[in-house]
Amino acid sequence: MAIDRESLATGRVNRALGAFRGVVSPQSELQRERRRIVALCLPFLVLLAFSGVVPLIEMIRISFSEARLTTEGFTFEYYTTLLTDSYYRTIALNTLWFGLATTIASITIAVPVAHALEKYDLPGESVIVTVLSFPNSLPGIVAAFMIIVLFGNTGLITNVVAAFSGQSPIDLALATSVVGLFFAYLYSMIPRALLLLRGTYAEVNTDAEEAARSLGATPFETFRYVTLPQIKPGLIGACVLLFRTSLAIFGTILILKSLLVWTLQIDREIAQGFNIAQASAMATIWFVFVFGFTFLALRFTSAEVSI
- Which pLDDT band holds residue 282 (cuts at 50, 70, 90)? very high
> Do 267 and 159 fall into the same domain?
yes
pLDDT digits (tens, 9 = 90+) for 242-259: 999 999 888 899 888 889
In a domain, 78, yes or no: no
Q: What is the pTM of this model?
A: 0.79
Query: Which candidate, 249, 245, 233, places its Cα nearest to that of 297?
Result: 233
In a domain, 66, yes or no: no
pLDDT digits (tens, 9 = 90+) for 26-55: 666 776 777 777 778 788 888 888 878 888
Count of domains forming the chain: 2
Query: CA 245, CA 196: separation in Å to the nearest integer?
Result: 14
pLDDT (average), residues 64-88: 86
Torsions phi, psi for 259 (to 5 deg) = -150, 135
- Which pLDDT band holds residue 115 (cuts at 50, 70, 90)? confident
> Do 27 and 162 fall into the same domain?
no
> Do 41 and 117 fall into the same domain?
no
Query: Which candidate, 284, 277, 270, 285, places its Cα nearest to that of 70?
Result: 277
**Quick one: pLDDT at residue 274?**
81
In a domain, 54, yes or no: no
Where is 231: in which H helix or E strand? helix 228-248
- Which pLDDT band holds residue 306 (cuts at 50, 70, 90)? very low
> Which range of residues forms the domain containing residue 111?
84-306
268: left (phi over 0), alpha (psi -120 to 50) or beta: alpha
> Do 99 and 149 fall into the same domain?
yes
CA atoms within 13 Å, Cβ hemisphere of 244: 20
> Do 22 and 104 fall into the same domain?
no
Q: What is the DSSP letter of 298?
A: H
Query: CA 196, CA 1: separation in Å to the nearest integer?
Result: 56
Query: CA 285, CA 289: separation in Å to the nearest integer?
Result: 6
Check the CA dihedral 264-265-270-272 and report its sign.
positive
Query: CA 137, CA 134: separation in Å to the nearest integer?
Result: 6
> Do 194 and 293 fall into the same domain?
yes
pLDDT (average), residues 76-96: 93
pLDDT digits (tens, 9 = 90+) for 198-255: 888 877 777 887 888 888 888 888 888 888 888 888 888 889 889 999 998 888 998 8
User: Where residue 278 sits, what CATH number does that domain have?
Assistant: 1.10.3720.10
Check the CA dihedral 297-301-302-306 and report its sign.
positive
Query: Is residue 14 predicted with pLDDT exceeding 80?
Result: no
